[in-house]
Every structure is written in C-alpha cells, then in structure tokens.
A and B are shown apart, each in its own frame.
Chain A
Amino acid sequence: MSGINDFADIKVEDLNLWYGSNQALQDINIKIPSKSVTALIGPSGCGKSTFLRCINRMNDLIKVCHIEGRVKIDNKNIYDEDVDVVELRKRVGMVFQKPNPFPMSVYDNIAYGPKIHKVSKKDIKGIVDKTLQDSALYGEVSDRLDSSALDLSGGQQQRLCIARTMAVEPEIILFDEPCSALDPISTNKIEDLILKLKEDYTIVIVTHNMQQAARISDYTAFFLMGEIIEFGETNQIFENPEEKRTEDYITGRFG
C-alpha cells in the first residue's frame, strides 16, 4: 500500500444523489476528521445510510442511482474516472446493519479478504489471530475457529464481521447501524470495540441510537430530508445545538 497517506481525511463537496428522479442527498458538504468517530444521526429515510454508502461507492451497485459532486479521500475524488473501486473498498471497509458472515468457518471468514488479496498463508494465520484479538473475539472463539460462523451469536457474528473488515487493513471503517440487530450487552461490546478502533482508523457510524452517538462519537452530523442540518463536535451538538431542528430531534420531539 505505497503512497497512501494515513491521514485519511474525508472531504465531501457539493454532493447530490438521486434515485431515479428522487433526490436523496442535497448539497452535502462535510469534512470528516481522521482517527476519530463521526456519528451520522437523523430520522429514518433522511439519507444518512445513503451518504455512508457514497464513501465506499456501494451505491454503484444500484442501477438507478445517480451522483454529482465530490467525495475526496486524501484529496483525491473517489468518483474520478481513474479510481479503481475495488482498490477504494480495500481502503474503506464497511460493517453492515445485519451481521452478514459468509457460510464458512470463523477462520475462513477472516481469511477470505487477505486470501483474495494474495497474502501468503503464513501471514494470514497471523492476521486472523491479530484481528480476532483486536475485535475482542479471541477468547470466545479461539477453540472453534473451524466451526461455522453461523453458529456464533448475533453479537459475535457482528464482531467477526468487524474482524473480517480489519483483516484487509482499511484506513476508514464505515458502520451502518451495526448494533440495531443486537442486544444491549453485545451493543456494549461493539461500542467498546469502536472506541478502541478509532486509535487506528477513521470511523463513520450511522446510528438511530442517540445515546450511542453521544457515548462513542467525537463528531456528529444531523441529517434531515437529505440535507446536513448541523455538523460539529458531539458535545456541542448534544448540549448546545445551533439549530432548533437538531435540538428537537435530539430531545425526542420528533423523528
């Protein structure tokens, strides 16, 4: 991974997105600082997940999706024609709403990415051990690396998915409501993990859970109807929002 500046700053400029004739994102401008956790909050359908999927170009998979504007990572617009999407997604990992391990063993789930990216067998073993430890999963699954990932609990599956993402050594990890399908204890473990991960990764997380945003994020962006209403340090957004609508949403008056 030569020449990649590990100061992975995400700069979004005048981003507009349409599904067919339906505008889902409007004039998004935001600078996401590196090595920190940025939470995207807002009511359902406000465009926060859509925005998240712009950062690793997952929206490319949707045929009717049309995008204008720039998303710059290390000052390079990832929507430029010379950008290799596959290479981009290696740098920008994603953890999904529902845990989605492959129907393979625990070991193979983590080894999948490195194996495809031609990491040697010996090194893969080390990567699996390390990511399992980093994702706080090692103690729970070290004796059943060869059994099916589908036999793990939901929370363990989600941490496995995080480990799988870390195994390809991204700089940025996107979380799309990673705890919405999990119980409070599992949620807690994932939150602890995210706090630990921000030492090494830039993290963007979509969440419906206000407390979660307050607990783990350094910065928060409030989305409403495809626009960013307010973006700032989490403390400021939660304690002293500039916008009335932000305050209304955070205090539960709507949404």
Chain B
Amino acid sequence: MDPRTTEKLAFGFLRACIWIVVAFVAILILYIVIQGYSIMSWEFLTEMPRNRMTEGGIYPALIGTAHLVAISMAVAIPLGVLSAIYLNEYAKESRSTWIIEMAINNLAGTPSVVFGLFGLALFVKYLAFKPSIISASLTLALLILPVVIRASKEALITVPLAHREASLALGVTKWKTIRSIVLPEALPGIVTGIILSIGRVAGETAPILFTGAAFFLPRLPESVFSQFMALPYHLFILATSGLNPTETRPIQYGTALVLLILVLLINSIAIVIRKHYRKKLHR
C-alpha cells in the first residue's frame, strides 16, 4: 500500500478511537444531566430525605461524602507524599525496598471490597471506632494511599538529576534540596495523583459499606464517630433496595449528578492549584 494511504488510515483509526471515548463520556454525562436535571433545586441539596427516601433531598449524604473526602485526603496526602519522598530520595536500593514497592503496587490493584473488609476488621472492630465517619475515612485513605504514593514517586523521578546536583554543589543539604528544588518541581505531578484519588474517594461504595455508611439516617453526623450517609451508597440503596426504585429514579439521577458535579468541582480546584504551581515554575 502507498505509505501515504497507510498514514491516512492509521490517523483515521486513531481519531476514531478518541471519538469513541469522547462519545461515551458525553453520552454518560448528558444522560445523567438530562435525567437528574428536573429534580435539581436548592431544597434537593439542603433537605433531609423524607417519606422513606422517596421524597426530599440528599443533604446528609452530601455532607457525609464531603466529610469522607476531607478526612481521607487529610490522612492520605501527607502520609503518601512523605512515604514517596522517603522511597525515592532516601531509601537505598535493597531487597526490603523492593518488597515495599511491590506491596504498594499490589495494594493499588486490590479490589476495594477487600479494603472494606479490612477496614471493618481493623478500624471498626479492633480499634473500636464503630461504624463511623472516621472508620470509613481511614479505610478510604488506605485505599488511595498506594495511588498517591505511586503518583508522587513518578513525579519525583522526573525531576532531573542535574537540578539536584546543582543545588547540592551550592552547599545545600539534601533535605533543603528536596524541599526547595525537588518538591516544587514535582508538585504538579503530585497534585495530578491527588486529583485522581479525590474522585475515587467520593465515588467508592464498597469500602464504606462495612465501615459506617448508613442505609437511612435523616440527621447530620454529630462527630467523626457517628454513622453517616454518603452519595454513592445512597444512590446504590435507592436503585436496588429502596421502597420504590422506579418512582425514585429522578432522585437517583439527581444524586448521581450531584456526585458528578462535586467531583468535577474538587478536581477543578486541584487543577487551578496545579496551574498555579506550574506557572511558578516558569515552564
């Protein structure tokens, strides 16, 4: 075949692939928006569910999910980023580091329901946190920890050796070099890893199933040791075991839409932060 025809065919094929992806995402978002739009109102966001969850809003679920995201990120980000710094900058290449890295990689591929069971055993039972926000948040933190560590480590690796050497050659300590050169340069990549984790924390159902998410709880959690409602679990309940799954369809899609918007919102904040740091880097 003529090389130019082959090229056209190849490009056409690649373009088709990306259009298929875009189409799926567009249909998904459009469908949720169309189905959930009708119920969207201030009341839907700020009212308790009523009449056995067939009426009213999703306020407690929204608040519950916000708590989960905030607490699990507060735990996973420092722990994950600092672990990545240690692994990449300080740990010597040895058998034990290799084992640790293998464990992290495997952890990243572990099904989330396994994390749920682990959280139940460790936080709910052994540490006696009961089914609660704190149990669920810690479980979710464990779930995304490998993601944060891996993304941070990848970001740290890309910082050129030349920049580290330049700093060390100026009589700057290793720790100061990491803080003032390596970390700022790796930050956009680290933030990207965090962005991915936020979506996961907000959307996961299995890990919170055993660790504190309530079927129905028409009040706000009093402390981190209270049970809570969460958007993804609420959606799951309404769709599978609610009183009337067909009648509550708008509420289901409304919940999905809110979840989607919430994740997009947090992501855009993270993207703004990332942009800010990129700019500061003068790239």
Contacts and interface: CB of A to CB of B under 8 A. Distances in A.
A171 to B, nearest CB: 12
B282 A90 contact: no
A86 B185 contact: no
B20 interface: no
B93 to A, nearest CB: 8
A100 B162 CA distance: 6
B172 A86 contact: yes
B127 interface: no
A116 B169 contact: no
Given A103-B281, A103-B282, A105-B282, A164 B170 contact: yes
B166 interface: yes
A96 B165 contact: yes
Given A96-B165, A103-B281, A105-B282, A89 B160 contact: no
B75 to A, nearest CB: 31
A138 interface: no
Contacts of A61: 165, 168
B169 A94 contact: yes
Contacts of B165: 58, 61, 94, 96, 100
Contact of B166 (A63, A117, A161): A161
A150 B282 contact: yes
Contacts of B172: 86, 89, 112-113, 116
A116 B166 CA distance: 14
B162 A168 contact: no
Contact of B180 (A56, A89, A112, A150): A112
Contacts, number: 74
A104 B173 CA distance: 19
A217 B171 CA distance: 26
Size bracket, chain A contacts: 20 to 34
A123 to B, nearest CB: 16
Contacts of A56: 169
Contacts of B181: 102
A89 B170 contact: yes
Given A103-B283, A148-B282, A168-B171, A116 B185 contact: no
A98 interface: yes
Contacts of A112: 167, 170, 172, 180
Given A89-B170, A165-B169, 20 more contacts: A63-B92, A86-B172, A87-B171, A89-B169, A91-B171, A96-B162, A96-B169, A98-B162, A102-B163, A103-B281, A104-B281, A104-B282, A113-B171, A116-B176, A116-B180, A148-B282, A148-B283, A149-B282, A165-B170, A168-B170
Per CB-CB distance, the 4 closest pairs between chain A and chain B, nearest first, are A90-B171, A148-B282, A100-B162, A94-B169
30 contacts: A58-B169, A86-B171, A86-B173, A87-B171, A89-B168, A89-B169, A89-B171, A93-B170, A94-B165, A96-B165, A100-B163, A100-B165, A100-B166, A101-B166, A102-B166, A102-B181, A103-B281, A103-B282, A105-B282, A112-B167, A113-B170, A113-B172, A116-B170, A116-B172, A147-B282, A148-B283, A149-B282, A164-B166, A164-B170, A168-B171
